[in-house]
Amino acid sequence: MFPKADNKRGFTLIELIISIAIIGVLAAIGTLMFMQQLPLYRLRDATRMLFSDIQSTRIYALRNGAECILEQFPANSNSYRIRQNGTVIKTVDLSGFKGVAFGSLDATAPAPDSGTFTDDRLVIQAGGIASTGSFYLKNNRSPADGRRIAVSASGKPVITAWDSATSTYK
């Protein structure tokens, strides 16, 4: 009745199903790998923001010729703010970075809860001279990751990462 078509071009249904299955498996693997790295990306982003805000605090102090303060606010919380002459310039809440909090992974750190600044306040004088110390950020990932931002007397911040092999910041 109908002549048999001898068309050998195109894909069979089996070939299409196998191709879609392979793409699905690769997508699942890629999603899992991304989800495992997401806490680290959040920690790095929060660290860069705090680093940038430390630099901004120094710039505000130099530009306006007045002391500028970056402080954890309220004390022992997961937020910080920049103040100058009693005016709040910027407030940042780290809860937007899911799993990231102030705190050190080093149990022997002088202040494992947040940092080593007096009253958790980085004070930068009008001439750019800063109180020295460190802020610590960590995430709740397993294995845990952490970052330390140390500030020198000249107001220059330096980021170091937690090395889980040696249990130190490097």
Q: What is the reported pLDDT for 114? A: 63
pLDDT of 39 reads 87
Q: Which residues of the chain have pLDDT under 50?
A: none
Domain edges within the chain: 13-169
For 83, the 3-state DSSP assignment is: strand
CATH of 13-169, one of 3.40.50.1980, 3.40.50.1370, 3.55.40.10, 3.10.530.10: 3.55.40.10
